[in-house]
Amino acid sequence: MDATSLNAFMQREFPQVASQFRIERVAPMQADVRLLVGEQHLRPGGTVSGPSMFALADLAMYAVLLAMIGPVALAVTTNASIDFMRKPEAGRDLIGRARLHKLGRTLAVGDVLIVNEGSEAVLARSGMTYAIPPRR
């Protein structure tokens, strides 16, 4: 799936969150996803909350997986960890750069680096494993 078809899939299958994210780039085993930062993503002090950053990491990994295997809505996270390293800059979107390291029949393993738009400084790093349902 390319970025356009992934964005359409998200609008169709997950309309409750699709407007908060945009899949921007897809390449083999990679995808970049933007969190369109709004008031609902902020914590006291005006910075993006940890749960919002985690949601970005999870959605970015989901996007790269679907880019590789197609529209399998029931692929699910089975393991996740996140390291928060820097405070996000206020007023800027976040970009999740997802990369798959292993794509098997039943599991996919990868990581996501989160940066502020226009910066290369890593704000958070997440390691994730997804379960892939049996395909017919």
CATH of the domain at 49: 3.10.129.10
The per-residue pLDDT for 136 is 65
Q: According to the model, what pLDDT value does residue 45 have?
A: 84
Distances (CA, A) of 67 to 32, 45, 101, 116, 123: 11, 36, 14, 23, 24
Whether 25 maps to a domain, the answer reads yes
Q: What's the Cα-to-Cα distance from 80 to each of 3, 37, 49, 58, 104, rounded to whole Å?
A: 24, 22, 17, 8, 17
Question: Whole-angstrom Cα distance, residue 96 to residue 83?
Answer: 14
Give me the tens of pLDDT residue by residue for the chain, a chain 136 residues long.
999 999 999 999 999 999 999 999 999 999 999 999 999 999 888 899 999 999 999 999 999 999 999 998 899 999 999 999 999 987 899 999 999 999 999 999 999 999 999 999 999 999 999 999 987 6
| Pairwise CA distance, residues 119 & 69, whole Å | 30
The domain in which residue 75 lies consists of: 3-131
Distance CA 108, CA 14 (A): 21
Q: How many domains does the chain have?
A: 1
**Within a domain: 14:** yes
